[in-house]
Structure 1
């Protein structure tokens, strides 16, 4: 776990830095510098682009990680990487042609309830292509076990740029329309920088010769178009459906704020995922079952400890946090609770996704992914008309709970491994004790001071207990290392 923890810690720092900047943007700048409609529009455009991204990438970012370590010679590696660079064009070029000739039809379809969307179809397409090639170049560096710079670009760079653009709107240097164009420019600049870094790590030598396992690569890439990022996209499906089903696009903004708060729990998993994916692929390609099981259990335990702590901070401080937000954004408490639980469940799975994506059973990811997507859509159609954004949160929670349970059972049945231990039970009991002990009281201070002091108290007690009980050997070692114990 050495390289995993080392890069995961660095990635966690950069990811939380990005989320901190994102929190300022999401909770304060967007809500005060843009109208609710335009904030909802931005959230809708980014969600729609995220949904399109796996199609534009053609599953290549997943294929690079799965197959790269199976090639051993320079010629075979260069041929493989050359294919990966050009394969997405198989989808991007036809999509662009269709977008050109069917612009009005697509615009009217997306603008079913909100006509403001119709003028921004090309923005969605360009954002999707930029996001797709960013993930491809990031995967290019991941297989070289270089994840820190890419994670910084993924989590921090665009949020800093968007913050600058938002202040430009506030000072009237930019109109809102120019801001949206600038946002697209930020994503294009990000992919260009990532490309240059990826090429500095391993410069491509274009070689077009016969590639071993080509049918397997194409089949895998095709399946990953739908399955590869479906779990990540579940929240974007929610926002997309709210945008087309609710006549007030501002509801997307309110939902986005609640979702952003809850998805902070996903940060440790996202940080660790960057290095776990290539490592899991390596163990599977080498058929190292012992190392795979050890990584599965350790990743689950460590993520439960860290994400459980973040879950506590969110739930135990949420009431005070909502006191400092604009009133119209404070109706999402139930959304935060349900999505937080869903994200906590995601973390408990450890590198379960990496095992599925990179094993011979990757075809099942397609089935599970389609199951999740269909389930999420059906549940959203049922619950959004009944309960609005809270209905969408119910749909998300139910879909994710079913999806994760199915994946756990499947990996256990095929690999005879599961991520849980008695230590997992201990952590869950500790979380319940903290929830009962700290939820019903606060310091009689300003909400910000209350959040800071209460969080520090919870953090000291929580990690003291984790260390004293030696629940996670890896985390105890890090505590000793940094506190010089």
Structure 2
């Protein structure tokens, strides 16, 4: 468990360091260096590429985590097979992309025609990203999640900073910067390969006949089915941005992008925790230790909601302060309510704990087909209905509703099939505490003007009230006891 805790901590640090760099990029550097239309192109191309990634991956990421324990003795043959299948998946996606190219062009031709010029960048980013996800999944099987997270969260964003900064200084043109975006993903991929070579977990081995009978068929079947679950999560994350570009325009997507980037920080602890618990959930199901799965389900729900609610409070209470520092903020401030709806959607993901991971690694993984089909239809229909009426806020509400009901469906299914549920009295306490603190800080500091002073004072007040509230409400008692013991050890070592 110490190894898991260390990996989780390092992954969380990388996540938040990446957030700081990402905030610098999205909230200051990009609005300062690029026009709203250019930001819209930049984000639309990335989102389109990352939307293709789960299809090209063929669901192999979850398949690797689930089936790795069964073929540890032939791990490098398993690794090689996964890479070859992923390359095959990318070729299929590329072929389909060219077959339906005219349809894709027509979707953007009216409101965002400039996107069409960079379709080549989309395919390169897709290729490099999908290979990176396989390397990431293989590292996760070794409980090596910290360094891959560092490449994914920090290095990638730093390279984007350098790329946009180079354009800002006019060393390159906008077209060069867009093609440089593909290079950024390639450099990150090369870094991952070098890291895996260094720790001796990157080796190509083509002895596929050594697998147990029926293993390859079972692995591919499972991966293709879980592909739908992965696709559903990515679809919610990316389809709104693409539909905003297509239905409204690139300027609107720039506003939406910045608002979305402000909100997405709320789920950072959930991402870090998920990376660490996925191998555990897979192992517990493999050993049929269902009681441990149920306990993990509840424990993760409390701890990640405790962290993410604090971040949500910090973000939404300081929303005017955050927009205050953005260049051309009067334009981008119109996306303020997008932050609220996307933030609430992220909290719904957090609230329902690791429901997706439990379904994926249980024997009921076929349910992903039903859940994802329902969610995919819902998110597209909701966007088509709400965007023309409410604009970018409509896209945000559509995402919130899709995320909430997607999680609700999975919650009821797990409760029915496995008898697990993530909720406890601590969950209710956290929700009540969060609501109370928001209204208290809002009332106490209602006369403050947006700026550094308000940001600092409001943030400190929220943290102090929140920490105090966790003790008053007696939330996460075991964790607090461990933390106090840790502090006492530090105090004794200093004396």
User: What TM-score do you get using the length of structure 1 for normalisation?
Assistant: 0.94
Counterpart residue number, 2:238: 236
Change (3 A) 1:8 1:467: farther
Counterpart residue number, 1:156: 154
Counterpart residue number, 1:16: 16
8 Å contact from structure 1 (residues 226, 366) kept in 2: yes
CA distance in 2, matches of 1:100, 1:390: 32
- Post-superposition Cα deviations, 1:161-210, rounded to whole Å, max 9, x if no partner, equal 11111211121112111111111101011112112223434132412215
CA distance in 1, matches of 2:44, 2:426: 41
Counterpart residue number, 1:451: 455
Counterpart residue number, 1:474: 479
CA distance in 1, matches of 2:484, 2:156: 32
Q: 288-297 or 475-484: which moved more?
A: 475-484
SS of aligned partner of 1:362: coil
Q: 210-219 or 233-242: which moved more?
A: 210-219
Once the two structures are superposed, the pairs formed by residues 324-335 of structure 1 within 5 Å of their partners are 324-325=325-326, 326-335=329-338
8 Å contact from structure 2 (residues 441, 461) kept in 1: no
- Post-superposition Cα deviations, 1:285-327, rounded to whole Å, max 9, x if no partner, equal 1111121112111111100100010011011111222233321
Of 344, 359, 362, 2:347 maps to 344
Change (3 A) 1:100 1:331: closer
8 Å contact from structure 1 (residues 44, 239) kept in 2: yes
SS of aligned partner of 1:209: helix
SS of aligned partner of 1:330: helix
8 Å contact from structure 1 (residues 57, 129) kept in 2: no
Counterpart residue number, 1:395: 398
Counterpart residue number, 1:144: 142
Counterpart residue number, 2:285: 284
Change (3 A) 1:331 1:21: same
Counterpart residue number, 1:267: 268
Please, which runs of 5 or more residues in structure 2 have no aligned partner?
none
Equivalenced residues, count: 482
Please say if 1:306 is aligned against 2:307. Answer: yes
- Post-superposition Cα deviations, 1:330-353, rounded to whole Å, max 9, x if no partner, equal 012221111111111111222222
Counterpart residue number, 1:63: 63
Change (3 A) 1:396 1:104: closer
Change (3 A) 1:96 1:481: same
CA distance in 2, matches of 1:427, 1:83: 45
CA distance in 2, matches of 1:4, 1:344: 24
CA distance in 1, matches of 2:339, 2:484: 30
CA distance in 2, matches of 1:223, 1:101: 24
8 Å contact from structure 2 (residues 71, 211) kept in 1: no
CA distance in 2, matches of 1:348, 1:3: 26
Please say if 1:176 is aligned against 2:174. Answer: yes
The Cα shift of 1:93 comes to 2.1
CA RMSD across the alignment: 2.0
8 Å contact from structure 2 (residues 263, 340) kept in 1: yes
Please, which runs of 5 or more residues in structure 1 have no aligned partner?
none
